[in-house]
Structure 1
C-alpha cells in the first residue's frame, strides 16, 4: 500500500496512455474555471507521511529540483498541469529549463510565482509534449519563503532554513542511488518515432495504415484523444484484428469526429498510437498528401 500511495498520480497519467483509464474530458482553463491558487500558511499543521525521513524521499525520487511555478492550466477535468522554471537540480538526469508537473485538482497545492522544492517521479512517452513529472508524496509540499522551508512533515525541523535543507539533500546517502521506480517507468514508454523524414520511412515504421472515420471519443485532454473508428480500408496491418475492435487508439487533439483520415499507427502491445507526432494523421481535405498516399498503395 505504501508504494501505491506514493506513485498514484503518475500511474493514473500513464494509465491514460497505456490502458485507457478515463480520468475526465479535456478542455481549456476557461471550461473548468480558474486553477486553484493555494496560499500556504506560515505555520503548518504537521501531518503523517508515507515517508519516515528525508533519506527515503531522496531515495525514491527520480528527479529532485527547486524552482518557481511559472504557469498552470487544466490537462483535463481532474488534473492540473504546472510549468516549473527549474533553478537548481539535486538528483536525476538533467532536466530542461522548464518542466511539466501534474497533480489532481483535489490536491491543488501550488501557486504561480512561488518557489518550491520537488521530489518527483518521471515518465516519458506518448503524445505529451514533454516528460511527465508527479510529486512522489502527494500530500505534502515544500515551499520556499524568505529563505525558509514551509512544510508539514513531522520528521523535518519546524524552522528549517533553505540553505540547511539543500545541504541535507546534497549530503543524503541516497542522493546517488537510482530510484527503485526508474526501471518500472522505463518499461511502459510509448515513444513517438522522431527520426522519420520521408513517406517511405513512415510506411516502413508503421504497424497499421488505413482510411478511417473517427466515430467516438473515449478520452480527451489538451494534447490527445483516444478514439473509436470505422475502418474504411486497410493498407497495411495484421489480419488477426479489426481496428474497429481496438479500444485504445491515441491520436492528436486536432482529429475530429465524422471526418475521413488516413492514419499511420504503431502497435504498443495492443495499444495503438500515431507513429509520429506530425504527418501520421492525414485528412482527406489535405488533397495533395492524400493522393500521394493513395497512389503509393495502388502500385
Structure 2
C-alpha cells in the first residue's frame, strides 16, 4: 500500500478518499529523541517523500501508531463505501488508545462482527470526529485470530511465527516498537481553550447559505454555498467546503474555516459554526458588521 504526506486537515481528506474506495498513501523519514519511559531512545517518524513497503511484521510495527489485539463488537454504516467498526481492545502491543473501545474505519467487508483481530493502525484527530479515528496501515496485513491460529492475506507476515502467543510475544520484544510516528499538530487543539480567537486563526470567515450537498457521511457534509458576506478571505465557487453533518440546506450560518489547496475545513471542533438561532449570532454581527 502506498502513502502520501499529511497536513493538519488530513483526517478529513483521508477519510473522504477512503470513503470512495481509494487507497491511502503515507511517507516517512526518521530522527531520534529520548523518551521518558526508559533509557532507550525512540525513533520519531515524520513525513518525507520516500515511500514505505510493508514486507514484514516488523515493518508494520515500526510505522503503526497502535498495534492492538481485540474483537469487533459493532459494525455500522459510515458512508456508502465505508464501515465504522467498534473495536473492543483486549491487549495493546504498541501505543495506548486510552479507551477500551475505539472506532476503526475500513472499506466495506474488511472486518467481520464478532471476529478477533490483530490490527496495525494509524490514528488521526479531526475537527469533525468526536474521538480519535483509526484505520489499518495495510488492509492485506489485517490478521484474524482463531485461537492459536492466525490468518492473513499476506501469508509471508506469519512465516516466522508458530502461534498467536508466539506472534504476540515477538511483537512485545520487537525493536520496531522504538519507532513512533510524529503527528502533525492540528489547530483543533485550540478548541479546548476558552479564550481562543477563532476569527484570527481562520483563513476565511463567511456568512453562508448551503445550497447543495455534494457528499455526506455520519460526521461531515461537503457543500456548495451562497456567500452572503465574506468577513475574511476570498472565495472561489470551485472550492470544497466541509462542514459538520448537522448543517442544513437553506439555513444561514457564519463559518470559520482553514484553507488547504481547494478545500476549506472548520478551524476548530467546537467554535467554527455559528447558527442563526445561536446566542452569539448577534454578538458576532454587532462586532464585525460595518
The CA deviation at 1:208 is 2.5
Q: Give unpaired runs (5+ residues) of structure 2.
A: 21-52
Matched, 1:292 2:283: yes
Matched, 1:174 2:176: yes
Gap change, CA 1:152 and 1:259, over 3 Å in 2: closer
Q: Give unpaired runs (5+ residues) of structure 1.
A: 25-49
Q: 244, 248, 254: which one pairs with 2:240?
A: 248
The residue correspondences of 1:5-20 to structure 2 (distance < 5 A) are 7=3, 14=10, 16-17=12-13
The residue correspondences of 1:22-101 to structure 2 (distance < 5 A) are 23-24=19-20, 51-92=54-95, 94-101=97-104
Q: CA RMSD in A?
A: 3.3
Matched, 1:165 2:157: no
Instruction: Give the conservation status (yes or no) of the 8 Å contact 2:70–2:117.
Output: yes
Residues 20-39 of structure 1 show CA distances to partners (whole Å, capped at 9, x for unaligned) of: 75945xxxxxxxxxxxxxxx
SS of 2:199's partner is helix
Q: 188, 193, 197: which one pairs with 1:191?
A: 188
2 CA distance for matches of 1:234 and 1:283?
16
Instruction: Give the conservation status (yes or no) of the 8 Å contact 1:196–1:202.
Output: no
1 CA distance for matches of 2:229 and 2:59?
54
Q: 265, 270, 294: which one pairs with 2:257?
A: 265
The CA deviation at 1:119 is 1.2
SS of 1:139's partner is helix
Q: Give the aligned length.
A: 256
SS of 1:251's partner is strand
Instruction: Give the conservation status (yes or no) of the 8 Å contact 1:18–1:188.
Output: no
2 CA distance for matches of 1:174 and 1:217?
44
SS of 1:150's partner is strand
Counterpart in 2 of 1:127?
Answer: 128
Residues 26-61 of structure 1 show CA distances to partners (whole Å, capped at 9, x for unaligned) of: xxxxxxxxxxxxxxxxxxxxxxxx744332232232
2 CA distance for matches of 1:18 and 1:159?
33
Instruction: Give the conservation status (yes or no) of the 8 Å contact 1:249–1:272.
Output: yes
Counterpart in 2 of 1:154?
Answer: 155
TM-score, normalised to structure 1, is: 0.72
Residues 122-145 of structure 1 show CA distances to partners (whole Å, capped at 9, x for unaligned) of: 232341222332222212432223
Between Structure 1 and Structure 2, the one with more strand by share is 2
